[in-house]
Amino acid sequence: MSNLAQLHGRHVVLGLSGGIACYKAAELARELIKVGATVQVVMTEAAEHFITAVTMQALSGRPVATSQWDPREANNMAHINLSREADAVLVAPASADFIAKIAQGRADDLLSLLCLARPLKAGGQPCPLLLAPAMNREMWAHPATQRNLAQVAADGALVLGPGHGDQACGEVGDGRMLEAAELRDGLVASFQPKLLAGRRVLITAGPTFEAIDPVRGITNLSSGKMGFAVARAAQEAGALVTLVAGPVHLPTPRHVRRIDVKSAQQMHDAVLPIAAEHDVFVATAAVADWRPASASDQKIKKDGSGQMPTIAMTENPDILAAVARLPGRPYCVGFAAESHDLARHAREKLVRKNVPLVVGNLGPATFGRDDNTLLLVDAQGERELATADKLSLARELVREIARRIGQ
Ligand code: C5P
Q: What is the pLDDT along the chain (407 residues), one digit of tens a residue?
A: 556 689 999 999 999 999 999 999 999 999 999 999 999 999 999 999 999 999 999 999 999 999 999 888 888 888 888 998 999 999 999 999 999 999 999 999 999 999 999 999 888 888 999 999 999 999 999 999 999 999 999 999 999 999 998 888 888 999 999 999 999 999 999 999 999 999 999 999 999 999 999 999 999 999 999 999 999 999 999 999 999 999 999 999 999 999 999 999 999 999 999 999 999 999 999 999 999 999 999 999 988 898 888 999 999 999 999 999 999 999 999 999 888 899 999 999 999 999 999 999 987 777 778 899 999 999 999 999 999 999 999 999 999 999 999 95
Burial 140-175 (b: 16+ CB within 10 A, else e): beeeebeebbebbeeeebbbbbbeeeebeeeeebbb
Q: What is the pTM of this model?
A: 0.90
> Is 195 inside any structural domain?
no
Domain count, the chain: 2
Question: Which residues, judged by CB distance below 6 Å to any ligand atom, belong to the binding site of ligand 1?
Answer: 204, 264, 283, 285, 287, 316, 318-320, 334-336, 349
304 and 166 belong to one structural domain: no
Phi first, then psi: what are they for 397, rounded to 5°? -65, -40
8 A C-beta contact, residue 129 and residue 91: yes
Which residue puts its alpha carbon closest to atom 6 of ligand 1? 336
The CATH number for 237's domain is: 3.40.50.10300
**What is the widest separation between alpha-carbon atoms in the chain?**
90
Compute the distance between CA of residue 232 and CA of residue 62 in angstroms, rounded to an integer: 32
238 and 170 belong to one structural domain: no
Closest ligand 1 atom to 334 CA: 10
205 and 175 belong to one structural domain: no
**DSSP per-residue string spanning 2-35:** -GGGTTTT-EEEEEE-SSTTHHHHHHHHHHHHHT
Compute the distance between CA of residue 167 and CA of residue 73 in angstroms, rounded to an integer: 39
C-beta neighbour count of 214 within 10 angstroms? 12
Which residue puts its alpha carbon closest to atom 5 of ligand 1? 336
For 74, the 3-state DSSP assignment is coil
Which residue puts its alpha carbon closest to atom 21 of ligand 1? 318
Residues 6+ apart with CB under 8 A from 116: 79, 105, 107
Compute, in angstroms, the gap from residue 318 CA to the centroid of ligand 1.
6
Closest ligand 1 atom to 322 CA: 20
Tell me whether strands 371-378 and 357-362 are parallel, antiparallel or unpaired: antiparallel
**DSSP per-residue string spanning 375-401:** EEEETTEEEEEEEEEHHHHHHHHHHHH
Boundary residue ending a domain (190, 215, 247): 190
Compute, in angstroms, the gap from residue 335 CA to the centroid of ligand 1.
7
Compute, in angstroms, the gap from residue 280 CA to the centroid of ligand 1.
16
For 317, the 3-state DSSP assignment is coil
Compute, in angstroms, the gap from residue 287 CA to the centroid of ligand 1.
6
Compute the distance between CA of residue 38 and CA of residue 14 in angstroms, rounded to an integer: 10
Identify the pLDDT of residue 109: 96
Compute, in angstroms, the gap from residue 392 CA to the centroid of ligand 1.
23
E strands along 269-391, which residues?
Answer: 280-283, 290-292, 313-315, 331-338, 357-362, 371-378, 381-389
Residue among 319, 340, 351, 374 whose CB has most ligand 1 atoms within 8 A, to mutate: 319
* Nearest CA-CA partner of 332 in 284, 281, 285, 400: 281
Compute the distance between CA of residue 360 and CA of residue 378 in angstroms, rounded to an integer: 11
168 and 234 belong to one structural domain: no
23 and 104 belong to one structural domain: yes
**DSSP per-residue string spanning 81-150:** HHHHH-SEEEEEEE-HHHHHHHHHT---SHHHHHHHTPPB-TTSPBPPEEEEE---HHHHHSHHHHHHHH
Compute, in angstroms, the gap from residue 306 CA to the centroid of ligand 1.
35
Compute, in angstroms, the gap from residue 114 CA to the centroid of ligand 1.
52
168 and 246 belong to one structural domain: no
Domain that holds residue 144: 3-190
Residues 6+ apart with CB under 8 A from 5: 35, 36
183 and 328 belong to one structural domain: no
222 and 363 belong to one structural domain: yes
Residue among 243, 320, 340, 401 whose CB has most ligand 1 atoms within 8 A, to mutate: 320
User: What are the catalytic residues?
Assistant: 169
The CATH number for 109's domain is: 3.40.50.1950
Strand partners, 243: 203, 258
Compute the distance between CA of residue 58 and CA of residue 40 in angstroms, rounded to an integer: 11
What CA–CA distances, in Å, run from 329 to 18, 198, 278, 316, 356? Answer: 51, 17, 8, 21, 12
Burial 19-40 (b: 16+ CB within 10 A, else e): bbbbebbbebbebbbebebbbb
Is omega for the bond preceding 162 within 30 degrees of 0, making it cis?
yes
What CA–CA distances, in Å, run from 269 to 50, 234, 262, 331? Answer: 52, 23, 11, 19
Which residue puts its alpha carbon closest to atom 2 of ligand 1? 336
Residues 6+ apart with CB under 8 A from 173: 137, 140, 141, 164, 167
Compute, in angstroms, the gap from residue 274 CA to the centroid of ligand 1.
18
Boundary residue ending a domain (134, 167, 190): 190
Closest ligand 1 atom to 316 CA: 21
167 and 219 belong to one structural domain: no
> Is 290 inside any structural domain?
yes
185 and 208 belong to one structural domain: no
Compute the distance between CA of residue 314 and CA of residue 289 in angstroms, rounded to an integer: 9
Residue among 268, 318, 338, 353 whose CB has most ligand 1 atoms within 8 A, to mutate: 318
8 A C-beta contact, residue 102 and residue 157: yes
374 and 301 belong to one structural domain: yes
Which residue puts its alpha carbon closest to atom 9 of ligand 1? 335
pLDDT in tens, 103-142: 999 999 999 999 999 999 888 888 999 999 999 999 999 9
98 and 225 belong to one structural domain: no
